[in-house]
Amino acid sequence: MDTKQEIELQKEYIEKIKKINLDNQKYAIFTMGCQLNENDSEKICGMLEEMGYTLTENFKEANLVIFNTCCVRENAEDKLFGKLGELKKIKEENGTIIAIGGCMMQEKHITEKIKESYPFVDLLFGTHTLHKLPQDLYLVINRKQKEEDIINIEGKIYEGLPIKRTSNLQASVTIMNGCNNFCSYCIVPYVRGRERSRQPKEIIKEVQELAKAGYKEITLLGQNVNSYLRVEKEKKIPFEEYQGINSFATLLKAINEIEGIERIRFISPHPKDFTDDVIEAITKCDKVCKLVHLPLQAGSTKVLKDMNRKYTKEQYLELVEKMRKNIPNLTLSTDIIVGFPGETEEDFEDTLDVVQKVGYEQVYMFIYSRRIGTPGDKMQNQIPEEIKHTRFDRLKEIVESKIAENNEKYIGTTQKILVEGKSKNNENTLTGRTDSNKVVIFEGENDLIGKMLNIKIVEEHMWYLKGEVVK
């Protein structure tokens, strides 16, 4: 069966479940991890709603509870097991169907633990079998038996899954899946398979449909977006060039032409693959936001080598310089891991040094978490927990002081904002984001929602700015 036929088969199962689900069946979903997982959950929700399920936030009233898991760091595991503990009693009382999918399910020691300690779970599915949810769920419902559908393959691309998006303004579009980089701390290549890109035509079609439906902001997703179509070209895997798209840069340019879309973001690129054509595309494409997420991971060349990142501290800083020179109004955000095996005080200071030099708009900070099966886990020189935590706190302090310093630069400037909706804490104000992804709160009428507006920034706070509509 090719992927198209596989999807057709799943549509038949959707219809079968729909026939069973005559009364009001409800589902609850719990999503962990990155935006790729969020996007996968939107597909899970799309399939479930076509099966006749409606969403509830309340686990207790759900007929089906589904987890979409992440395994990048250990704390996600604790969260899942905690929730499963809570669900045991609910299941006993209500007969709730419990399904767990996503990255964590690709790890054998986790599925073994679930089967042993939480035997009431009905369905386990992995990253390569997400599209088979209708069939697997049908077997659980119809045969009243437990199902496990996890395979370990390089991975395929499935088009045409239903999707239920969480916003009607901003949409994520996955452009590639998997990763071939094998950074030594990271579990992703083992659970998401090899790098593979969607066909240009499919991406353009999806974005065109989103534009038609009124979406204004598109975030292109992938573990390594700037190597879009690289593997296909290297391994001579056929792909169909469409509207001149044969690389990430040409993809950005083509999406920039789509009428109705106002903003384009992308995560995450890899510094080693940040070629000049991508810099040029960001510069030239007016809709591409000038905020670039450029994961640093560590500032020390020695640690970067041990992490298998394939760039040095100097090369990273040179790239930042080149980007600054070419891209007007460039802002940067990053990911940093502290406490990687062998990280000395001196190495850690290199990280602080890069943070000081670059002046990021936002830094996502992580304490190194040992992942079974990765080279990092086997390294002998693990860093004690207390040291990791003290370094994390020291980094956080510097990051926050740099952000506060940076925020002051916004005062008095006029920023283009996409108005997202009412602000959470104050019904009378609206919220939106700048090109650099800063939250801005301001007074305005509801009919401004969905519009691009000029806002003058009048006040700064650590995590948001306050502004006024420019009349």
Q: What's the token pair of residue 40? A: 């996968």
Q: How far is the CB of 248 from ligand 5AD (least distance, A)?
A: 18
Beta strands 414-422 and 429-433: pairing type?
Answer: antiparallel
Asked if 430 contacts 417 with a C-beta cutoff of 8 angstroms, the reply is no
Neighbouring residues of 192: CB distance < 8 A, sequence distance ≥ 6: 103, 106, 127, 155, 177, 178, 179, 223
Task: Report H helices in 183-334.
Answer: 188-192, 200-212, 230-234, 248-256, 276-284, 301-306, 313-326
Note whether 198 binds ligand 5AD by CB under 6 A.
no
Nearer to ligand 5AD, 358 or 418 (CB): 358
Note whether 348 binds ligand 5AD by CB under 6 A.
no
Q: How far is the CB of 339 from ligand 5AD (least distance, A)?
A: 8
Q: How far is the CB of 296 from ligand SF4 (least distance, A)?
A: 11
* Helix and strand totals (H; E) in the chain: 15, 19
Q: How far is the CB of 371 from ligand SF4 (least distance, A)?
A: 10
| 334 alpha-carbon distance from chain centroid | 14
Q: How far is the CB of 451 from ligand SF4 (least distance, A)?
A: 35
Query: Before 197, cis peptide (omega within 30)?
Result: no
Q: For residue 384, give the DSSP letter.
A: P
Q: Which of residues 289-308 bind ligand 5AD (CB under 6 A)?
A: 295, 297
270 contacts which partner out of ligand 5AD, ligand SF4, none, CB within 5 to 8 A by kind? ligand SF4
224 contacts which partner out of ligand SF4, ligand 5AD, none, CB within 5 to 8 A by kind? ligand SF4
Asked if 273 contacts 224 with a C-beta cutoff of 8 angstroms, the reply is yes
Asked if 193 contacts 127 with a C-beta cutoff of 8 angstroms, the reply is yes
Task: Report H helices in 156-274.
Answer: 188-192, 200-212, 230-234, 248-256
Note whether 228 binds ligand 5AD by CB under 6 A.
no
Q: How far is the CB of 381 from ligand 5AD (least distance, A)?
A: 15
Nearer to ligand SF4, 248 or 442 (CB): 248
Q: How far is the CB of 73 from ligand 5AD (least distance, A)?
A: 5
Nearer to ligand 5AD, 207 or 395 (CB): 395
What is the spatial distance between Cα 251 and Cα 257, in angstroms, rounded to a whole number? Answer: 10
Note whether 254 binds ligand 5AD by CB under 6 A.
no
Nearer to ligand 5AD, 333 or 369 (CB): 369
The binder of ligand 5AD chosen from 138, 316, 368, 442 (CB under 6 A): 368
Note whether 73 binds ligand 5AD by CB under 6 A.
yes
Asked if 340 contacts 383 with a C-beta cutoff of 8 angstroms, the reply is yes
Note whether 465 binds ligand 5AD by CB under 6 A.
no
368 contacts which partner out of ligand SF4, ligand 5AD, none, CB within 5 to 8 A by kind? ligand 5AD
Of the candidates 333, 471, 346, the residue with the CA atom closest to the CA atom of residue 402: 333
Place of tokens 């040409």: 250
Nearer to ligand 5AD, 268 or 407 (CB): 268
Interface residues with ligand 5AD (CB under 6 A) are 34, 72-73, 185-186, 295, 297, 335, 337, 366, 368-369, 371
